[in-house]
Amino acid sequence: MEKYEDARDKAARNIKIADHMLTQTYPLVNDPKILVSVIENIFLALTNSMASLLYFEKACKNIPPFHDNFESKYNMFKMKLVDKHGIGRDYIRFIEDMRDIVVAHKKSPTEFSRKGSFVICSESYNLKALAPNEMRTFISKAKSFNDEINKIIKQGESRNMVIIEGDKA
């Protein structure tokens, strides 16, 4: 299995996990802390979708090598692939927002549940509330990003198959 196929499978799995946690686990347990895990899985899905396209483009020798960390992948994705494939800038902002929430959670000195939401409090007392309805929107957007990336890869695979078969003749 190619590295990009593995990343694509991981992205789909992360979306399913986030969706299951929100639609099945959260109503059953009714613990807002689960929303943090939902966000983390959404962020992992976005990261793996992005990595899938990066690994595909690298395999096709369309982009230079990059380090295997989020910042390097994100910068390469933003600089080399977003305009090339016509990926919406709203997805870039969405990835940044999800990263910011995950980082805020990790750095947060105080967190608490309130009225079905999970509130993350920064050291400067900026609050970010995670609510179930917002999570549904995030999952939906992550699914559409993943679908768009998969569509781009599928088109690239079919183009590369024509080139490979043409080389054999």
Q: What is the pLDDT along the chain (169 residues), one digit of tens a residue?
A: 789 999 999 999 999 999 999 999 999 999 999 999 999 999 999 999 999 999 999 999 999 999 999 999 999 999 999 999 999 999 999 999 999 999 999 999 999 998 889 999 988 888 999 999 999 999 999 999 999 999 999 999 888 764 444 444 4
22-25 contact pairs (CB < 8 A, 24+): 22/132, 22/135, 22/136, 22/139
φ, ψ for residue 62, nearest 5 deg: -95, -15
In angstroms, the CA 20 to CA 102 distance is: 19
pLDDT at 166: 43
Q: What is the DSSP letter of 66?
A: -
Q: CA-to-CA distance for 115 and 118, rounded, in angstroms?
A: 8
* Residue 66 near residue 58, CB atoms below 8 Å: yes
User: CATH number, domain at 66?
Assistant: 1.20.120
Strands in the chain per DSSP E: 110-114, 117-121, 127-130
What total number of domains does the chain contain? 1
Quote the tokens at residue 132.
């179930």
Rg (CA), the chain: 18
Question: Domain containing 148: what range?
Answer: 3-168
